[in-house]
Amino acid sequence: MEKNEILVVYGENPAEMASEIAEEAGLAELIGDKKKRIGLKPNLVVARPAEEGATTHPEIAAGLIDYLQKNGFTNIVILEGSWVGDSTEDAFRYCGYEALAKQKKVELIDTQLDKAKPYDCKGMRIEICDSARAVDFMINLPVMKGHCQTLVTCALKNNKGIIPDREKRRFHSLGLHKPIAHLNTVARNDFILVDGICGDLDFEEGGNPVSAGRLFAALDPVLCDAWAAEQMGYAVSEIPYIGLAEKLGVGIGDPKKAIVRELNQPLKGGGFAKPGGKVRQLAQYIEEAEACSACYAALIFALSRMDRSELGRIQGKIAIGQGFRGKKGALGVGRCTQGFAAAIHTTGASCPGCPPSGAEVLSFLRQQQ
């Protein structure tokens, strides 16, 4: 896998998807020496199940561990520290990681209980937990989801779990963006596998999961987050820590420079999570017929970025899904609705892409107003 690539896999079985993407990325070759200590860093910010949109599906870690063990890697550790005020031990138990570690015979480390040392993170002194520094190859397993302060959280912010609680408090007092960027000048991001199964719409604690049914892998954490921001309907300029990390040399912040390689086609349907109230509210603007979950998620993310007056100007319902292939209509999203715009003398419009990103859908919907 190349540094500027993003590999995407769609599906319903996160363990199989994780293993497939690791195979395609050549993860074993990327790691090299079988004796290396490999860290898996999920997002277990709170003790809530992955279906609620906050935490990494344990099946993804399970699929990766199976892949690693099959390839002869035995020194594997899962490490994480929940947010301040919540117990990582509870999260490990409740989110299925305690059972997983026991079953696969891998170590489990609560970084909230770990010692830490300060490091010069390109001009900012930041304490990082010893267990994270002891890892030779770090696999970052973030959830692509909304965040109440930074708007988007993905790979770069997930590394907040490898700093002690006192440092997490300081990050908040500094406004998060700058310290997150600096942290990633030292924190390892050797391979990133993003849980894009059903991350939350706008809140890191979950409650409004958006089913998208995909995982994506990257080697560059900045490019990874820039691409994720676009999928969620944001311009990179709206998420300051991405640009700051790019300026510090962590990676590339222009999602247009990503070479996206899809390993399969988006999947029809896929109710990975029960939609919360906000997602149900936005769904009232949509007429769905056999829509792929990634396409539907892009539309939900785009609608969530529109204010009340913009939503009020939407005429009728927005069509989406394979059931609209070859049909005519007024407003459609995704290549399946291209017939809306193709007919002669049509007044219909269709947002191209299969699936389009949230940012593309948002820009399309705004153009129609």
Query: Using CA of residue 48, residue 49, residue 53, residue 58, what is the dihedral sign?
Result: positive
Q: Contacts with ligand SF4 in 276-315 (CB under 6 A)?
A: 291-292, 294-295
Would you say 108 or 354 has its CB closer to ligand SF4?
354
Which residue's CB atom is positioned nearest to ligand SF4?
334
Q: Considering the rule CB under 6 A, would residue 338 count as an interface residue with ligand SF4?
A: no
Angle at 194 between CA 6 and CA 117, to 5 degrees: 110
Rounded to the nearest whole angstrom, what is the least distance from the CB of residue 360 to ligand SF4 in the complex? 12
CB of 298 to ligand SF4, least distance (A): 8
Residue 180 binds to ligand SF4 (criterion: CB under 6 A): no
Query: Given the rule CB under 6 A, which of 20-28, 124-132, 160-168, 329-337 is the region that contacts ligand SF4?
Result: 329-337
Residue 11 sits in the site that holds ligand SF4 (CB under 6 A): no
Nearer to ligand SF4, 244 or 299 (CB): 299
d(CA 155, CA 343): 43
358 forms part of the interface with ligand SF4 (CB under 6 A)? no
R_g of the chain, CA atoms, integer Å: 20
With respect to ligand SF4, which residue has the nearer C-beta, 104 or 268? 268
Question: Does 354 sit near ligand SF4 (CB under 6 A)?
Answer: yes
Tell whether residue 63 is a contact of ligand SF4 (CB under 6 A): no
Cα distances (angstroms) measured from residue 67 to each of 18, 64, 101: 9, 5, 15
Sequence-distant (6+) residues with CB within 8 A of 62 are 15, 18, 100, 104
CA nearest 23: which of 43, 9, 36, 3? Answer: 9
- Rounded to whole angstroms, the Cα distance separating 119 from 117 reads 7
Q: Rule CB under 6 A: say whether 270 interacts with ligand SF4.
A: no
Q: Can you tell me whether residue 145 is helix, strand or coil? A: strand
- Tell me the CA distances in angstroms from 296 to 49, 319, 321, 333, one per residue in order: 22, 10, 8, 9
Integer Cα distance of 56 and 349 in angstroms: 37
Stretch that binds ligand SF4, among 31-39, 69-77, 90-98, 328-336 (CB under 6 A): 328-336
37 belongs to the binding site for ligand SF4 (CB under 6 A): no
The reply to whether 164 sits near ligand SF4 by the rule CB under 6 A is no
Q: Which is nearer to ligand SF4, 75 or 322 (CB)?
A: 322
Structure tokens at 357: 């990103």
Asked if 336 touches ligand SF4 (CB under 6 A), the answer is yes
**Binding span for ligand SF4 by CB under 6 A among 43-51, 191-199, 238-246, 332-340:** 332-340
Binding flag, residue 266, ligand SF4 (CB under 6 A): yes
Strand positions, DSSP E, the chain: 5-10, 38-42, 76-80, 107-110, 116-120, 125-129, 137-141, 145-147, 151-153, 191-196, 214-218, 259-262, 286-288, 318-320, 331-333, 349-351
355 is a site residue for ligand SF4 (CB under 6 A): yes
- The burial class, CB within 10 Å (0-12 / 13-18 / 19+), for 359 is buried
Binding-residue total with ligand SF4 (CB under 6 A): 12
Smallest gap from residue 355 Cβ to ligand SF4 (A): 4
| Binding interface with ligand SF4 (CB under 6 A) | 266, 291-292, 294-295, 321-322, 334-336, 354-355
